[in-house]
Amino acid sequence: MESQTLDPKIQLALEQYKALEEKIAHFVMIGGLLEWDQKVTAPKKGRAIFAKAIGTFRTEEFKLSISEEMGELLHILSAEDVYEQLDEITQAQIRERSEEYNRSKKIPAEMYRDYVVLTAKANDAWEEARETNQFGVFQPYLEKIVDYNRKVAEIYGYEQHPYDALLHQYEPGLSVAVLDPLFAKLRETSVALLEKIKKSGNKPSTEIFEQDYDVEQQKKFNTYFLPIIGFDMQAGRLDETVHPFAQTMNTGDVRLTTRYVENNVRSAVFGTIHEAGHGIYEQNIDPRLEGTALSTGVSFGIHESQSRFLENMVGRSEQFWTLFYPKIQEYFPQQLGHVSQQDFYRAVNTVQPTMIRVEADELTYNLHIMIRYEIEKAVIGGEIEVKDLPAVWNQKMHEYLGITPATDTEGVLQDVHWSFGGFGYFPSYSLGNLYAAQLLNTIVRELPDFYSNIEAGNFAAIQAWLKENVHQYGKLYTPEQLIRKVTGEDLKADYLVHYLEEKYSRIYSL
Amino acid sequence: MESQTLDPKIQLALEQYKALEEKIAHFVMIGGLLEWDQKVTAPKKGRAIFAKAIGTFRTEEFKLSISEEMGELLHILSAEDVYEQLDEITQAQIRERSEEYNRSKKIPAEMYRDYVVLTAKANDAWEEARETNQFGVFQPYLEKIVDYNRKVAEIYGYEQHPYDALLHQYEPGLSVAVLDPLFAKLRETSVALLEKIKKSGNKPSTEIFEQDYDVEQQKKFNTYFLPIIGFDMQAGRLDETVHPFAQTMNTGDVRLTTRYVENNVRSAVFGTIHEAGHGIYEQNIDPRLEGTALSTGVSFGIHESQSRFLENMVGRSEQFWTLFYPKIQEYFPQQLGHVSQQDFYRAVNTVQPTMIRVEADELTYNLHIMIRYEIEKAVIGGEIEVKDLPAVWNQKMHEYLGITPATDTEGVLQDVHWSFGGFGYFPSYSLGNLYAAQLLNTIVRELPDFYSNIEAGNFAAIQAWLKENVHQYGKLYTPEQLIRKVTGEDLKADYLVHYLEEKYSRIYSL
């Protein structure tokens, strides 16, 4: 459309811009493959050499997005009278690219270079601190990382809280003002619910998981259910890594990994379902967005909502196991042949406070996030100092979960995120749960057969709804716009709170 | 060393040149991975989109090697008084790069672009011609491809025969004048030996291969012997594809593929050994050459010599099967339990003229190459026309192998090479055999325990010799220099001729 009315000079700039965006999209695709390959297929001895090649490649990729050419084109196309003539997709591209371009340009090159060196060293220090169980080894590096992130917050700018500038990197538009009441409600109700659960006389038993489950059989079961729940195996793969992840090359090539543990059959099953949630999202983005920076999920939070929705709302539902329990029994007759479906269902929904976030259940998981959120906010805001983190951590663990880490390694040192400076990242995980519950509330209204569809193995109907309402749009809208468009309202804590209370009241006979 | 004496300006140019070469080497590494991934791991639906990304990437890669910067640096560093001050590795880099740079610069961009379009169409036409068994469908495209290659030969230049210019692309320094006598001798003696074999009363039976061999068992056997024969599994992988190949990312990451066929256990075994020959070569190149264009095999012919040496001279030897026959019997007790080692050995060394090159045995293989060599030379030299190719082909098949293709599909249309314009490529295969036999002659002299080492599974000694004499040098020397350095003389046909006569006289009691 714009091609008929635009000034020829603008038209030329538009074409150059689109070509440059496509080139960047191609580089991003290749970069994704390089990372995937290093983690999944590259033989050990070649990785160090290949890492240098990836460094060269990433430099070229980065140069494209901050090139003078890009700056000039964005300048031309962002001019108000030009921008308003562009179509929706191009406008969104320019919105996203300008954001990134401006952010990259604001940080002095030298400051960023020093930071890359710092985080590399910090990662080593973090590993050493974990091994020797001494927070002090990591502390000086973390202090510098915090300083950097405070500076970055000032450079990027914010309205109310410096932490807003960091949150914004992972969830555009998000702020402490929005998060505080959401998380406060979630935290308070979760702590209260956990108290009730602890006192319940009707606790599920997880003994059935304390058996050996043959890894080859696990692989067969995971490969069996993955396409059924909606992941297109012609447009993706499932491989094995120590840390499960999903990597998208393009909508026709989305690669998942999972982890098989002999004495933990749950690990692979829910890991696979979780990553499938990420993967199905990316497989179903509108092909019109291919070759642009919009052909990916909206934000970390919305992406996580898709993995959590599939893992928890679908994969931990009774109906899911009505469908798949007979099948998993077939794969593990000795381990599960004598276990009732109800006992299995309750076992995969056990609530049990643990020290480690990544092992947490659906309810206590958010409490782990609250601890990190509150610490990050306070440390970036200058209210607490890095040296006090272990004590603050342990105190909050005790307060929210009722347990206290015996060591820093199983406490404040457990996550890698701070060592690479990922302040603002953690809230995405709980945001994902909040979005997922709000989406569930909408989907069961619009698709009253939601649960019977799961039971019948008719995932197509559910995936079609998700595609129609979420997946297809890629990054066309902001998270706020999208959630309002789909659910008719802004993000609320009520849906997740209600979902958790209802679910666990049933399971624990509260 | 040069850094102490060179003029500062030259020194700067040298550093820039090395940085640019390293950048290109990184791009080549990544490009290799992209190709490998498309063939081995990429899911079906993502390949078309990824192919566009690869196109973008290849364009960037090509731009680096023909950049103005490269031209200027080569100009500075190639000046005689500068060049002679450089170390051996840098000189070789400049030799190789200048060669490629000049070749690329000589072909007008438009002419090359048209050719890329032509070969894409020609490949489709070739496939259609094969399906419909009509050479005529392919003929007009092949005529244009031949025209292009004739023009290219004129542009590149040659001393005696235009075909020399094409040979040179695959085997630097090679010419018709060198090849003609070598190939004539090989052809004549091979035809004569084949005649004798046909008349032998003591023919091996290949019935043992007409059984089903479980693919999973085949995989286990291939994975078992591959590291034993010298391939480092920490610096490589073995995967499965329809067409086996070896792809090098770097010396620490060399990836092989093989093909498993249920009713053909030989296919995977010798395919794996063959590709391992290529792979072991690349794994053992001197790490000092990493990050330069020298960190790969010398030429197509020398590369093929390493795969043929391992596949035939080692893998088809009696000693090899003294070592491995009990093991393959363990994997296939039903199929091979009752078969003697001697019968197995003779069966893997059967000579039988067949229509298809890629299925040919060690002796008749070269006769297939002779046919292609003679045709290519004549058609590029203008002595025969493309339309006459089917007739010439069939006549030569009859003359050398004593059989005549019933259709063009199993005759002149069988190979893909001409459809992508690979004139000059085929001779590499027989050159590989010639080099391999000449190397064998040297190694058994310098390593008298050669065959008993094989029998004892002591491949380390053999691989150490190959590394010391061939592998480590990468592309540091030209093929001519290398073969003279190792064997003390220029390439001769006598060694292969003798090897074949001796081997088959024994097997066929001639």
User: How does the average pLDDT of chain A come out, rounded?
Assistant: 96
| Residues whose CB is less than 8 angstroms from the CB of residue A265 and which lie 6 or more positions away in sequence, other chains included | A209, A213, A218, A328, A332, A335
Residue type for position A32: G
Name the token pair of A108.
């002095």
Residue A274 annotated as part of some ligand binding site: yes
Alpha-helix residue ranges (DSSP H) falling in B171-214? 176-199
Q: What angle (nearest 5°) sits at the alpha carbon of residue B266, between those of residues B264 and B272?
A: 120
Measured between beta carbons, which residues in chain B are less than 8 angstroms from residue A30? 30, 34, 53-54, 57
Name the token pair of B442.
């040297």
How much is the average pLDDT of A500-508? 97
Residue A488 has pLDDT above 60, yes or no: yes
How much is the average pLDDT of A188-201? 97
Q: How far apart are the first and last CA of chain B?
A: 60
Mutate to test the interface with B, among A45, A62, A216 (most CBs of B within 10 A): A45
Residue B278 annotated as part of some ligand binding site: yes
How much is the average pLDDT of A81-89? 96
Of A22, A49, A236, the CB nearest to B43: A236
State the Rg of chain B over Cα.
23
**Predicted pLDDT of residue A2:** 44
User: How does the average pLDDT of chain B come out, rounded?
Assistant: 96
| Residues whose CB is less than 8 angstroms from the CB of residue B372 and which lie 6 or more positions away in sequence, other chains included | B415, B426
* DSSP β-bridge partners for residue A489: none
Is residue A185 within 8 A of residue A497, CB to CB? The reply is yes
Nearest to B154 by CA among B189, B108, B209, B95: B108
**Predicted pLDDT of residue A109:** 86
CA–CA separation, A201 vs A203, rounded Å?
6
Measured between beta carbons, which residues in chain B are less than 8 angstroms from residue A291? 52
Measured between beta carbons, which residues in chain A are less than 8 angstroms from residue B29? 49-50, 53
Is residue A267 within 8 A of residue A216, CB to CB? The reply is no
Name the token pair of A454.
């799961």
Residue B217 has pLDDT above 60, yes or no: yes
Residue A248 has pLDDT above 60, yes or no: yes
Of A27, A49, A254, the CB nearest to B252: A49
Residue B480 falls in the annotated catalytic set? no
Is residue A496 within 8 A of residue A434, CB to CB? The reply is yes
**A206-210, B72-76, B219-223: which has the minimum mean pLDDT?**
A206-210
Using alpha carbons, list the distances in angstroms from residue B350 to B186, B359, B364, B430: 19, 12, 10, 19
CA–CA separation, B21 vs B265, rounded Å?
43
Q: What is the DSSP secondary structure assignment for residue A205, as one 8-state letter?
A: P
The structure tokens 């000079």 sit at A9
Is residue A257 within 8 A of residue A275, CB to CB? The reply is yes
Is residue A302 within 8 A of residue A252, CB to CB? The reply is no
CA–CA separation, A260 vs A215, rounded Å?
6
Sheet containing B246-250, strands listed edge to edge, beginning at the edge strand earlier in sequence: B236-240, B253-258, B246-250
Mutate to test the interface with A, among B250, B256, B282, B285 (most CBs of A within 10 A): B250
DSSP code string of B295-357: SS-S-HHHHHHHHHIIIIIITTSHHHHHHHHHHHHHH-HHHHTTS-HHHHHHHTT-----S-G
Nearest to B354 by CA among B290, B315, B325, B397: B397
Is residue A419 within 8 A of residue A126, CB to CB? The reply is yes
Q: B56, A22: Cβ pair inside 8 Å?
A: yes
Of B22, B253, B290, the CB nearest to A43: B253
Q: Give the minimum alpha-carbon distance from A48 to chain B in angstroms, rounded to a whole number.
A: 9
**pLDDT tens sequence across A116-166:** 999 999 999 999 999 999 999 999 999 999 999 999 999 999 999 999 999
Q: A26, B232: Cβ pair inside 8 Å?
A: no
Residue type for position A110: E
Q: B37, A34: Cβ pair inside 8 Å?
A: no
Q: A53, B30: Cβ pair inside 8 Å?
A: yes
Measured between beta carbons, which residues in chain A are less than 8 angstroms from residue B30? 30, 34, 53-54, 57
Of B29, B232, B233, the CB nearest to A50: B29
Is residue A313 within 8 A of residue A320, CB to CB? The reply is no
In the structure, what pLDDT confidence band is assigned to residue B5 with cuts at 50, 70 and 90?
confident
Is residue B169 within 8 A of residue B424, CB to CB? The reply is yes
Query: What value of ipTM does the predicted structure carry?
Result: 0.91
Q: A45, B235: Cβ pair inside 8 Å?
A: yes
Name the token pair of B153.
């030969």
Measured between beta carbons, which residues in chain A are less than 8 angstroms from residue B34? 30, 33
Alpha-helix residue ranges (DSSP H) falling in A133-262? 135-156, 162-170, 176-199, 215-228
Is residue A343 within 8 A of residue A208, CB to CB? The reply is yes
Q: How far apart are the first and last CA of chain A?
A: 60
What is the greatest pairwise CA distance in chain B?
A: 75
Of A41, A53, A57, the CB nearest to B237: A41
Residue A409 has pLDDT above 60, yes or no: yes
| A267-292 exposure pattern, b = at least 16 Cβ within 10 A, e = fewer | bbbbbbbbbbbbbbbbbbbbeebbbb
For residue B314, how many other CB atoms are within 10 A of its CB?
Answer: 24
Measured between beta carbons, which residues in chain B are less than 8 angstroms from residue A45? 232, 234-235, 252-253
- By residue count, chain A amounts to 510
**Predicted pLDDT of residue B36:** 96
Q: Give the minimum alpha-carbon distance from B45 to chain A in angstroms, rounded to a whole number.
A: 5
Q: B46, A232: Cβ pair inside 8 Å?
A: no
Q: A45, B252: Cβ pair inside 8 Å?
A: yes
Residue type for position B497: V
Helix, strand, coil fractions of chain B, as percent rounded to 5: 70, 5, 25
User: C-alpha dihedral over B9, B10, B15, B17, to 10 degrees?
Assistant: 120
Closest CA in chain A for residue B29: A53
Q: A42, B233: Cβ pair inside 8 Å?
A: no
Is residue A408 within 8 A of residue A134, CB to CB? The reply is yes
Is residue B337 within 8 A of residue B226, CB to CB? The reply is no
Residue A498 annotated as part of some ligand binding site: no
- By residue count, chain B amounts to 510
CA–CA separation, B237 vs B233, rounded Å?
6
The structure tokens 């393009």 sit at A250
Q: B33, A29: Cβ pair inside 8 Å?
A: no
Q: B46, A250: Cβ pair inside 8 Å?
A: yes
Long-range contacts of A87-92 (CB under 8 A, 24+ apart): A87/A1, A87/A2, A88/A476, A89/A288, A89/A289, A89/A292, A89/A294, A89/A476, A90/A2, A90/A14, A90/A18, A92/A294, A92/A475, A92/A476, A92/A477
Nearest to A102 by CA among A70, A61, A57, A77: A70
Closest CA in chain A for residue B48: A252
**pLDDT tens sequence across B88-139:** 999 999 999 999 999 999 999 889 889 989 999 999 999 999 999 999 999 9
What number of C-beta contacts closer than 8 Å exist between A and B? Answer: 127
Q: Give the minimum alpha-carbon distance from A286 to chain B in angstroms, rounded to a whole number.
A: 14
Which listed residue (B275, B311, B362, B376) is catalytic? Answer: B275
Residue B3 has pLDDT above 80, yes or no: no
Q: What angle (nearest 5°) sits at the alpha carbon of residue A425, between those of residues A423 and A429?
A: 145
Q: What is the DSSP secondary structure assignment for residue A362, as one 8-state letter?
A: T
Q: What are phi and psi of B377, to 5 degrees?
A: -60, -45
Q: A46, B253: Cβ pair inside 8 Å?
A: yes
Which helix (H) or strand (E) is A306 found in, with range?
A: helix A300-308
Measured between beta carbons, which residues in chain B are less than 8 angstroms from residue A254? 46
**Predicted pLDDT of residue A134:** 96
Residue type for position B44: K
**pLDDT tens sequence across B382-425:** 999 999 999 999 999 999 999 999 999 999 999 999 999 999 99
Closest CA in chain B for residue A237: B43
Measured between beta carbons, which residues in chain A are less than 8 angstroms from residue B291? 52
Between β-strands B236-240 and B246-250, what pairing exists: parallel, antiparallel or unpaired? unpaired
Which helix (H) or strand (E) is B78 found in, with range?
A: helix B68-78
Q: B23, A56: Cβ pair inside 8 Å?
A: yes
Q: B45, A249: Cβ pair inside 8 Å?
A: no
In the structure, what pLDDT confidence band is assigned to residue B4 with cuts at 50, 70 and 90?
low
| Residues whose CB is less than 8 angstroms from the CB of residue B451 and which lie 6 or more positions away in sequence, other chains included | B317, B319, B444
* DSSP β-bridge partners for residue B261: B264
**Predicted pLDDT of residue B352:** 96
Which listed residue (A275, A282, A318, A362) is catalytic? Answer: A275
Mutate to test the interface with A, among B20, B49, B226, B255 (most CBs of A within 10 A): B49
How much is the average pLDDT of B10-20? 97
**Predicted pLDDT of residue A175:** 97
The structure tokens 């090897």 sit at B499
What percent of chain A is predicted at pLDDT more than 70? Answer: 99
Closest CA in chain B for residue A53: B26
Measured between beta carbons, which residues in chain B are less than 8 angstroms from residue A25? 53
Q: Give the minimum alpha-carbon distance from B56 to chain A in angstroms, rounded to a whole number.
A: 7
Of B50, B232, B254, the CB nearest to A253: B50
**pLDDT tens sequence across A312-362:** 999 999 999 999 999 999 999 999 999 999 999 999 999 999 999 999 999
CA–CA separation, A360 vs B310, rounded Å?
54
Is residue B263 within 8 A of residue B211, CB to CB? The reply is yes
Closest CA in chain B for residue A251: B46
